[in-house]
Structure 1
Amino acid sequence: MTIYAKSGGVWSGMTPYVKDGGVWKLAEPYLKSGGVWKPLSPKVATLTLVGGATAQGATIAWSAVAGFQAGDLVLLFDQAETLNSIPPTSVIPTGFTNINDFSISAGVSGRSMISHRILDGTEGGNITGMNSGTTLQGKYLLIFRGDRAVSAVVSSAFNNEATTGDPAAQTVAAGSGAAPLIVLGAAFGTGGGSGFSTASPAFDATATFGGSTVGVAGYKVYNSAPANHSIDMADKGNNILSSGYVSIQ
């Protein structure tokens, strides 16, 4: 939150900091209301799932998930395969911000992307993402709602491996993250039948998508006490395994 102070007759924005244990930290201003101190810029405290849906192809309809509203958070998993050595072109849908983008180039290639958007109430029609020109592509759309409107999404660094062999298990260090947060995992295999051989702790939900189920993704919401996760997949041809988390404000 920006605080303003008058200096030389001019109001100027300033960002307040306080020293805590020898470290300067951003100060959050509070206001007393009804005898209770409340933050002037409150953050999301709890997060719940509104709904999720999958689609095969280059688009997924906003109407695939009913009941969303302004201030909700959207996460979009987008995976696609090409039948040559050139991976599908990255596409970040209009109004979205990319979180992760990783590809594999081989005789049969692929790309796995994750993007997010905070809804403003104008959404309608279709979300357009990658288009590989084959049926071997799909989308997984998830919508979450906070106890107040989501204002920001902070992403961790993601684990990524692209290999023609069996990807190594990945550890998501979510235990050190700020709740509420969502642990995310995505696996892609050109041979189809994608799935997680390990997901511990278990995801809240997973979904397969794309022709021959070339893609799978999962998530777990932590409103408190987040934990580290181990995520792995079996060899499904030419593979991409990705994992990380996003903290919600």
Structure 2
Amino acid sequence: MSIPISIVDAFTSVPFRGNPAAVCLLDEVRDEQWMQDVAAEMNLSETAFLQRRDDGSYDLRWFTPTIEVDLCGHATLASAHFLWENQHVALDRIASFHTRSGLLTAERTEEGIRLNLPSEPAQPMKAPEELIQGLGLIPRYVGKNRMDFLVEVDSVQTVQTLKPDYAMLAKVEARGIIVTSKGTGKPGDYDFVSRCFYPASGCDEDPVTGSAHCALAPYWQRRLRQTSFMAYQASPRGGELFIELQNDRVLLSGQAITVVQGQLTGK
């Protein structure tokens, strides 16, 4: 039996930009190894697997080509887009997802799709030597949450020109490394920029990382003393995000566009 699967570019309204995620709608329970094999076959930073519950909400799991992860923003945004576009959820209804990180929701707004995700603040921590060597710099700040290291550097230019040693970063005991800096302060510029590296999770550099902004939002709230942000992830594909921090939740808004629709025929 064939299974619907799409590739959706998230955090962009233009094809071949933002962050691509595969979205697979299951008609029955599948074992973890099968889902991991599909994710390896798709070879994208994330493949999302959806299964409908009786109440109209969905179970949602995320797999990189090598592991299952606890939280993924861009694949959640892609999943909501997939459900609305294919009329599995009415356009005026909120899409609800049961995940390893609790209940997540998505709704359509004038700014695009708005995700409601948990805040994941980082706590200050001494930088491992592998992190220093892998980035090739001395950070202004290093912290860690349950998933990632968060590193502040001195400028937007440093973020943009960084050439990590991925083999060294893969030795860091974390899902990945988020590198960020304050924006330039020029009118119309972004409040902060970032890049995200996940070599230990099967993705050297992630194009646009929703879950990273669950750590970035509370960090920059303390640094900039504001609760809403325009942010840019400065990967080669690039992505723009509008963020609001509300207590222990991060509201993350962005666009999405489907670039591939098909059927998965492998058993």
- Taking structure 1 as the reference length, the TM-score comes to 0.27
Q: Which is strand-richer, 1 or 2?
A: 1
Looking at CA atoms only, which structure, 1 or 2, has the larger radius of gyration?
A: 1
User: Scaled by the length of structure 2, what TM-score is found?
Assistant: 0.26
